[in-house]
Structure 1
C-alpha cells in the first residue's frame, strides 16, 4: 500500500486546543459547525485519526487568527469537508461551489486548507454582499462588476478589503500584486493567477501564514519562500502589510458582531 504522506509531522506552533488528546472527524464537524464530513473509503483508521487531529488543529488555528468563533468556519452549517475523496488529478485541495464541499486530498492536501477556506467563504459571503448574487458566484469576482451592494458596515469593510488587495493605494489602477499575477499568466498562456477569486485566496493565506501567534504548515505554507512567492504570486512588502491590516479589520469586526461584542 502506498505510504501516506500525512504520516509525517507538520510544523505547528500554537495553543494546545486538544489538551494532548485525539479528536475524531465527528468532533471536527461539531466544533466547527460543519454540514458534514466525508472520509474516503481508502483512508485507513490510522490515517483518519491523524488527519482528524491535523484538521481540528488547523481549523482552530484559523479561527484564532481570524478572531472569530469556531462555528463561523462552518459557514452557517453550509460547508462540508471531504478528506481522501472527491480528489482531482494534480490538485492538493479544491472547493466546489455547487456542493459547498471543501475537499482535501489524502496525500497532498497539506498547506492548502486556508486557501480553499477563503474560496468557501468568498462563495458564502457573496449573497450577503450582493443581494442578487447567483448560487455559484463569489464576492471577489462580483466586486469587479460594480454590482449594487447591500448597505451594511461589515460589507463596507469587506469592500474596502477587496479594494486594498486588488487596487492601487489611490484606487485608480490595479495593484502591483495584480500586475504581477497578470504577467505570470501571460508567461504561462493561462488564466489562473490573475483571477480575482485566486488573488484574494492567496492574499488571505498570506495573512494567515504571516500571523505572529500561529504557525501551522498543514493549514498554510508556501506564501513566503516558495517558487511562486519568489515569482511574485503573493502580495509583497508594504502592500502585503496593508492587505493583512484589511483582513484583520474585517474579520475582527465580523467576529465581534457574531459574538455580540
Structure 2
C-alpha cells in the first residue's frame, strides 16, 4: 500500500500546477456521476482530485485516447472514500457501473479497475451475448461468444488473443498457466479468471510505459510478491500486449473524437 509521500509521479503537467476539483474530473473525463464519502475532509478532497485527475490524464495519454473517452460515453461512475472492505484498494461494481477508490488505500489500483469498467462496458458492443451470459468482454471472448462484426472488435479480439493464447494460438499462454498455478496454490479461482488476467495485463502494460510513471494510477506490477510469483505478463509479453492495446485504443479514441 502506498502512502501519500510515495506518490512520485513523472509525466506531463496537464493542470499547469493548478488545483482541480472533482467537477473538473467529471467534465474533463466524461464521468457520469461522482460520489464522495462524507468522511472525506476538504484537504483530502483537494489532494485526491489532483491525484485522480493526473492519473486519468496519464491513462488517456498512454492509450492515445481523448480524455472524455475514459468516461465510457458518460456511463462510468466514480466514487471516492465512500467505504469498502478493509485492505481493498479499489473495486468496480458492475451493477452500478461504478469505479470506487478507497480514501486511504486506493493508490495504484485505478488502471486495474478501469480495465474492469471498460471490459464490462464493451462486452455487449463487441459480442452477441445471450441473456444471463458473460458480463465482461474477456469472458465472452474466452467462451467463444460470436463477435459483432466491426474492425474495432476484431482488434479487441486480437488484444485478448495476444494476452491469453500462445504464439501459434493453439494453447493458453504461459501467463495463463502461471495464473492457474497461483489459483491452485491459494485454493481458489481468482487469478485465472479472464477478467482478472486482462486487468493485470492491462495495468502491467501501463506501468511499463517508460515516458510516464504514476504510482497512483498503477503500482507493483514490476516489483511485488505477486510480480515475483509470475502474476503479471513478462517484459516481452507486455510489449506485445501493449502494441495490440494501442492498435485498438488509438483508433477507438479517434472514432470517439469525430
Q: Tell whether the structures are fold-level matches, with TM greater than 0.5.
A: yes
Partner of 1:55: 52
Deviation for aligned residue 1:62 = 0.4
* 3-state SS, counterpart of residue 98 of structure 1: helix
Q: How many residues align?
A: 256
Unaligned runs of 5+ in 2: none
The match for 1:163 among 138, 161, 164 is: 161
1:103-142 mapped onto 2 (5 Å cutoff): 103-132=100-129, 137-142=135-140
Distance (whole Å) between structure 1 residues aligned to residue 185 and residue 198 of structure 2: 21
- The two structures have a TM-score, normalised by structure 1, of 0.95
Taking structure 1 as reference, are residues 134 and 68 closer, same or farther at Cα in structure 2, changes over 3 Å only? farther
* 3-state SS, counterpart of residue 105 of structure 2: coil
Q: Does 1:23 find its partner at 2:20?
A: yes
Segment of structure 1 superposing worse, 231-240 or 172-181: 231-240
* 3-state SS, counterpart of residue 81 of structure 1: strand
Partner of 1:241: 239
* 3-state SS, counterpart of residue 242 of structure 1: helix
Deviation for aligned residue 1:246 = 1.1
**Deviation sequence 1:24-54 (CA, Å, 0-9, x none):** 0011111101011111011110000000000
**Deviation sequence 1:84-120 (CA, Å, 0-9, x none):** 0141232110000000000000010000000000000
**Deviation sequence 1:132-156 (CA, Å, 0-9, x none):** 3658700001111111111000000
Unaligned runs of 5+ in 1: none
- Cα-Cα RMSD: 1.4
Distance (whole Å) between structure 1 residues aligned to residue 96 and residue 68 of structure 2: 19
Does the 8 A contact of 1:33 with 1:74 survive in 2? yes
1:170-181 mapped onto 2 (5 Å cutoff): 170-181=168-179
The match for 1:93 among 60, 66, 90 is: 90
Partner of 2:189: 191
1:149-160 mapped onto 2 (5 Å cutoff): 149-160=147-158
Distance (whole Å) between structure 2 residues aligned to residue 7 and residue 41 of structure 1: 20
1:4-83 mapped onto 2 (5 Å cutoff): 7-83=4-80
Does the 8 A contact of 1:182 with 1:193 survive in 2? yes
Segment of structure 1 superposing worse, 247-256 or 97-106: 247-256
Does the 8 A contact of 1:127 with 1:133 survive in 2? no
Does the 8 A contact of 1:7 with 1:50 survive in 2? no
Does the 8 A contact of 1:122 with 1:139 survive in 2? yes
Distance (whole Å) between structure 2 residues aligned to residue 258 and residue 151 of structure 1: 18
Deviation for aligned residue 1:250 = 1.0
Distance (whole Å) between structure 2 residues aligned to residue 197 and residue 132 of structure 1: 16
Does the 8 A contact of 1:6 with 1:51 survive in 2? no
